[in-house]
Structure 1
Amino acid sequence: MLPFTLPPPLGCSVPPKWDGKNFVIGDKCAPVLEYSENFAGWSDDLTALHEEAARDNHPIDLASRNDAVRQVEKFGRTVGSVIMEIGCSSGFLIRDLVKIFPEAVVLGADVVKEPLYQLAKSLPSVPLIRFDLLKCPLPDQSIDVLIMLNVLEHIENDGMALNKVFKLLKPGGVLIIEVPSGPSLYDAYDEELHHFRRYSAVELRQKLIKSGFHICRESHLGFLLYPAFAVVKLLNKTLLQNKNKAVVRNQVRKTSNSNIMLWALEFETKYLNRLRLPFGIRVLMSAQRPV
């Protein structure tokens, strides 16, 4: 049972019920509850492209997921709480959350379709919901901890998206968010991944505050790697005039097995994670809805 009631999907009059493995809607069962779609910022093909190149063990993605887990432990009420990841895709973080927080209710949500159905096969006990955040069907004040890793940059109206997230959280609930940093570094890689923008920490902070959030934590991921990363991005802007679908695949593959990247991120995680790092590859923030 879910601790809140979901509205009926389009074309149905009966509210869905979760039986522990499927959503039951009248006399039908579905492993994924579908409400709406929006392919302006992402697609199933992009999911396949990125995960073919990065798999589940790219150094920066591992560091990102580990950081998110630490933030849930630090700011979240994990016993009996409702933890949702928006943008769960193939569920790498969802698997960690289920394992580490067995007493929480863990949900996954995304706008993609095929990855959710594949995830439902491997994690049948996790409720998975497909919807466009701008048309969020979930009831207000239903989530304790909401995680969005590299999602907001895929949403054109990010201010509206943050307003929706604020309404979703219970009073005292926490948003754990990560976005790509460096607005001036937007390049062919970002364009191929359907990023509408990259962020500065100042911009993300201001947008969160405007939506009503209190900032609990602010930092960056990839602090030690940022100088080299910035050089690559600036070269991309100069050299990659003809955009092509090989940019993401080529650059992700080059860094997936990088021992230098792995060492730098492990060092950062071990020795620098309590500091407010002033720059990096990604902006990290935790923000709370006031009680």
Structure 2
Amino acid sequence: METILYDQFYRIEEEHWWFVARREIILDQLRRYAPFPTANDILDVGCGTGIMLQCLQGFGRVQGFDFSPEALAYCRRRVGGSVPLTLGTLGEKPPFPPRTFDVITLLDVIEHIEDDQAAVRGARDLLRPGGVVICTVPAHPFLWSGHDVLNQHKRRYTARELRRTIAGAGLRIEKFSYFNTLLAPAVFAARLATPRRRRLEPRSDFKVYPRWLNILLTRIFLLEKPLLRLANAPFGVSLLCVARRVDA
């Protein structure tokens, strides 16, 4: 990811509608599927600028793991010395013993990795039996844009591709759904109405909106939280998967 984006994320992710609602939805799914109250050890892979580390501290012993020294520097600014931070990647031999964690988060991470299935397999190996991986990714290759280019994504996923990646890594899928569904028609229309050349110019989709609009978008997105407890959404801008290690 371009270094300039770390600064942008650090400045906006506490209040920006997309980050706020996404966090709430992910944490709600975590409460449903993670092996609590016995789950104590959590690894946030691709911890970025540390906002999820803050949220996850209420669930157990949290560690952050990222390939970027710049990202970890922002994490230290946010969480201080309260969370252990490790530099590295899942593609190499991770600096953790096998079966160390009860929960591993891969939140908009594996789309940055060439061999995504190897990364998920690496996460699986770090899980204790019964532990869960929570993974989110950008959906729909037809939505590819300059935002993906700037973020150095390797791909956007179809549902079939993500299922194959997760299941092929030896995990049992327990929740699989699109999300960011209610706002998806507007996103689809905006992307497809933009001329291709302009659409592919590297630029961030994350803009600072007027307070009233940011609140409105947050509330619309958060309407999905209770709905995702009951059912899986048939379309959306992102995909969410919760998968469990079931071997002994």
TM-score, reference length from structure 1: 0.76
Q: Contact 1:97/1:106 (CA < 8 Å) preserved in 2?
A: yes
Q: Contact 2:45/2:106 (CA < 8 Å) preserved in 1?
A: yes
* Cα distance in 2, alignment partners of residues 263 and 151 from structure 1: 25
What SS does the aligned partner of 1:93 have? helix
* Cα distance in 2, alignment partners of residues 216 and 64 from structure 1: 19
**1:239 CA displacement:** 4.7
* Cα distance in 2, alignment partners of residues 110 and 264 from structure 1: 31
Q: Contact 2:178/2:239 (CA < 8 Å) preserved in 1?
A: yes
1:131 aligns with 2:88: yes
Change (3 A) 1:218 1:77: same
Q: Contact 1:183/1:198 (CA < 8 Å) preserved in 2?
A: yes
* Cα distance in 1, alignment partners of residues 110 and 210 from structure 2: 23
Correspondence for 1:83:
42
Q: Contact 2:145/2:200 (CA < 8 Å) preserved in 1?
A: no
Correspondence for 2:69:
113
Change (3 A) 1:55 1:173: closer
| Residues 244-263 of structure 1 mapped to structure 2, 5 A cutoff | 244=202, 247-248=203-204, 251-253=205-207, 257=211, 258=213, 259-263=215-219
**1:59 CA displacement:** 1.5
The list of structure 1 runs, each at least 4 consecutive aligned residues, that deviate by more than 4 angstroms after superposition, is: 254-257
* Cα distance in 1, alignment partners of residues 72 and 228 from structure 2: 34
The residue type paired with residue 44 of structure 1 is T
The residue type paired with residue 205 of structure 1 is R
Most deviating of 192-201 and 229-238: 229-238
Most deviating of 256-265 and 76-85: 256-265
* Cα distance in 1, alignment partners of residues 15 and 195 from structure 2: 27
Q: Contact 1:180/1:198 (CA < 8 Å) preserved in 2?
A: yes
1:274 aligns with 2:233: no
* Cα distance in 1, alignment partners of residues 173 and 102 from structure 2: 16
Q: Contact 1:187/1:237 (CA < 8 Å) preserved in 2?
A: no
What SS does the aligned partner of 1:194 have? coil
| Greater Rg by CA | 1
The residue type paired with residue 70 of structure 2 is E
Deviation string 1:198-229 (CA, Å, 9 cap, x unpaired) is 01122101111111110010112211111111
Q: Contact 2:134/2:241 (CA < 8 Å) preserved in 1?
A: yes
The residue type paired with residue 253 of structure 1 is K
Q: How many percent identity over aligned positions?
A: 29
The residue type paired with residue 182 of structure 2 is L
**1:119 CA displacement:** 2.5
What's the Cα RMSD here?
Answer: 2.1
Q: Contact 2:104/2:127 (CA < 8 Å) preserved in 1?
A: yes
Most deviating of 165-174 and 230-239: 230-239
* Cα distance in 2, alignment partners of residues 210 and 242 from structure 1: 31
Structure 1 gaps of 5+ residues are 1-41
| Residues 144-159 of structure 1 mapped to structure 2, 5 A cutoff | 144-159=102-117
The residue type paired with residue 223 of structure 1 is T
Q: Contact 2:141/2:157 (CA < 8 Å) preserved in 1?
A: yes
* Cα distance in 2, alignment partners of residues 260 and 239 from structure 1: 31
Correspondence for 2:22:
64
Correspondence for 1:221:
179
* Cα distance in 1, alignment partners of residues 39 and 117 from structure 2: 30
**1:237 CA displacement:** 5.5
